């Protein structure tokens, strides 16, 4: 009997991919925190989940939006360093959570295949 890995692993590979892409975007924001006129960008998890629920593949197709700052800066840069660092840290924890879930799924499949 063949195992369909996409069905067996569920949503976890897609969420892991999303977390990697969001890390890149947030890291770009942190690097450009002092760049005049730079606009902070982000990815929205709920948008990605809605796209997946609608049956549309989300891997690698993310809509990057711009963030509206709480506090305007004199040089028109919209990166708020403290908030951006917090978002990056939260995304790193979410990545670890997604990775843990994926590892548990793989361990369960391995156990089922080995007959334990």
pLDDT in the model for residue 57:
64
Angle between helix 45-53 and 12-31 (nearest 10): 150
Label residue 77 exposed, middle or buried (CB < 10 Å: 0-12, 13-18, 19+). buried
3-class secondary structure, 110: helix
Split at pLDDT 50, 70, 90, the class of 36 is very high
Split at pLDDT 50, 70, 90, the class of 86 is very high
Split at pLDDT 50, 70, 90, the class of 71 is confident
Does residue 59 register a pLDDT over 70?
Answer: no
Per 3-state DSSP, the chain is made up of helix, strand and coil in percentages (nearest 5) of 60, 5, 35
């Amino acid at each position: 009997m063949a195992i369909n890995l996409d069905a067996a692993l569920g949503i976890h590979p897609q969420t892991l991919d999303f977390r990697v892409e969001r890390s890149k975007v947030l890291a770009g924001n942190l690097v450009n925190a002092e760049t005049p006129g730079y606009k902070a960008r982000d990815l929205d998890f709920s948008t990605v989940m809605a796209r997946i629920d609608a049956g549309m593949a989300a891997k690698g197709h993310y809509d990057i939006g711009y963030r509206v700052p709480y506090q305007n800066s004199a040089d028109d840069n919209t990166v708020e360093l403290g908030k951006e660092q917090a978002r990056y840290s939260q995304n790193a924890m979410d990545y670890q959570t997604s990775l843990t879930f994926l590892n548990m799924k793989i361990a369960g499949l391995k156990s089922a295949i080995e007959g334990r």
